Amino acid sequence: MKPLIVANWKCNPSTFAEAEKLFLAVSRGASKTGAEVVICPPFVFIPGLSAITKNPVKLGAQDAFFQEGAFTSQISINILKQFGCKYIIIGHSEKRALGETNKIINKKIKACLENNIIPVFCIGENRQERRLGKTSKILKSQLKEGLKGISPFNIGKLVIAYEPIWAIGTGNACDTDKAKEANIFIKKTLTDFYSGKNIQKVRIIYGGSTNPDNALSFIKDAGMDGLLPGGASLDAKKFVAILNKF
Ligand code: PEP
């Protein structure tokens, strides 16, 4: 399977003109990549970018609400679907830091799966938890809560992003050994929760200070199925350099 590279633009750039320029530069640069490429811009840029989306770049979103109706400020999955969003990042640590709970994350993952959207479910420990040797415990509880009630049939559609919080936006990516350990632990935990072949279809990707120099080693050495670059995805040259590793 092709490596999956999901760009998280976060709350950037500040204007649509810049977003369009970046999107077009990445689309041009991505023409020869062997990776599956998904760009997740801020919500308001999605309609404009969907009009200029072309292979191999796909559009995604950074979040979505699990319901429609009287929910001021929220954006539903159906609203996003009409603009061709195929993937939605759910449970990013920056959303969790603003109060998003495992319970809400679980509802959002279920809503994505029910609507044929692929959730990119983010999990990861913070620096203190890593220092105290609690990484496995944290990953297990995030997986347990986030996947509550998700059927063995649907589980195979999921993408799980291992994003150690201490590596996000710091320039200090996780060692490939640690990323490999987390990858193996996530797979083992999924096997404990579910039986059946669908578990092997779950894609596990890595995010946290990825760049053109370390991108390949997360796939080759840590066995990841892809990457979730944040900062590097805002620089067309850097992001295309990552894509062209594959
Ligand atoms: C992220 O936004 O999830 C992320 C991993 O950011 P960065 O690549 O900048 O660490």
Torsion sign across C-alpha atoms 11, 12, 16, 20: negative
pLDDT in tens, 136-194: 999 999 999 999 999 998 999 999 999 999 999 999 999 999 999 999 999 999 999 99
With cut-offs at 50, 70 and 90, classify the pLDDT of residue 55. Answer: confident
Residues marked as catalytic: 92, 163
What is the value of pTM for the model shown? 0.97
3-class SS of residue 120: strand
pLDDT in tens, 81-94: 999 999 999 999 99
How many Å apart are CA 77 and CA 188, to the nearest integer? 30
With cut-offs at 50, 70 and 90, classify the pLDDT of residue 195. Answer: confident
How many Å apart are CA 56 and CA 73, to the nearest integer? 31
By most ligand atoms within 8 Å of CB, the mutation choice from 96, 224, 228 for ligand 1 is 228
Q: Hey, where are the domains in the chain?
A: 4-243
- Say if ligand 1 is within 6 A of residue 212 CB: no
How many Å apart are CA 56 and CA 42, to the nearest integer? 20
3-class SS of residue 86: strand
Strands (E), the chain: 4-8, 36-40, 57-61, 85-90, 118-123, 159-162, 203-206, 226-227
- Say if ligand 1 is within 6 A of residue 8 CB: yes
- Say if ligand 1 is within 6 A of residue 124 CB: no
- Say if ligand 1 is within 6 A of residue 119 CB: no
Other Cβ atoms closer than 10 A to 115: 15
124 Cα to the center of ligand 1, angstroms: 12
List C-alpha distances in Å: 169 to 6, 31, 124, 212, 219.
15, 27, 14, 15, 20
Residue 212 CA neighbour count, 13 Å, CB half = 11
What fold, for 4-243?
TIM Barrel (3.20.20)
